[in-house]
């Protein structure tokens, strides 16, 4: 009985962790929505450290959306619809994982291009 309980508990823990957020989904979101304006994904993502990305991505990316919404840059204005959408809110956890994975202090390099 104990072995069964331990295996069920282990499977549920690993499944819940895997369902939480995924770097590859964040990378896909970045390529679909962000590369248009931020041409070189490798350079852009590594411009900030994890701590800095954390500030931008708190509360489902609220600060990141705010920065884009306040920008007078034409490319940023094109992104307003995306940042107001439910899709951004839904995928922000994946985007956060991607940004953390390839932040300047992570030592990892994304293959976005």
Provide the whole-model pTM: 0.73
Q: Is the dihedral of CA 16, 24, 104, 60 positive or negative?
A: negative
| 36 three-class SS | coil
Instruction: Determine the pLDDT at residue 34.
Output: 86
Q: Which of the 8 DSSP states describes residue 39?
A: S
Indicate the pLDDT class of residue 5, thresholds 50, 70 and 90: low
Q: Is the dihedral of CA 23, 90, 32, 82 positive or negative?
A: negative
What whole-number distance in Å separates Cα of residue 86 and Cα of residue 4?
40
The pLDDT tens digits for 49-108 are: 999 999 999 999 999 999 888 888 777 777 888 888 999 999 999 999 999 998 999 888
The pLDDT tens digits for 26-54 are: 889 888 888 888 877 667 888 899 999 99
């Amino acid at each position: 009985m104990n072995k069964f309980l331990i295996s069920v508990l282990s499977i549920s823990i690993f499944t819940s962790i895997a369902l939480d957020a995924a770097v590859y989904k964040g990378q896909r979101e970045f390529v679909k929505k962000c590369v248009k304006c931020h041409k070189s994904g490798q350079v852009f993502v590594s411009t900030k450290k994890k701590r800095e990305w954390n500030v931008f991505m708190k509360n489902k990316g609220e600060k990141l959306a705010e920065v884009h919404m306040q920008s007078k840059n034409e490319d940023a204005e094109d992104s307003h619809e995306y940042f107001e959408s439910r899709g951004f809110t839904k995928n922000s956890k994946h985007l956060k994982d991607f940004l953390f994975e390839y932040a300047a202090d992570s030592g990892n390099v994304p293959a976005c291009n």
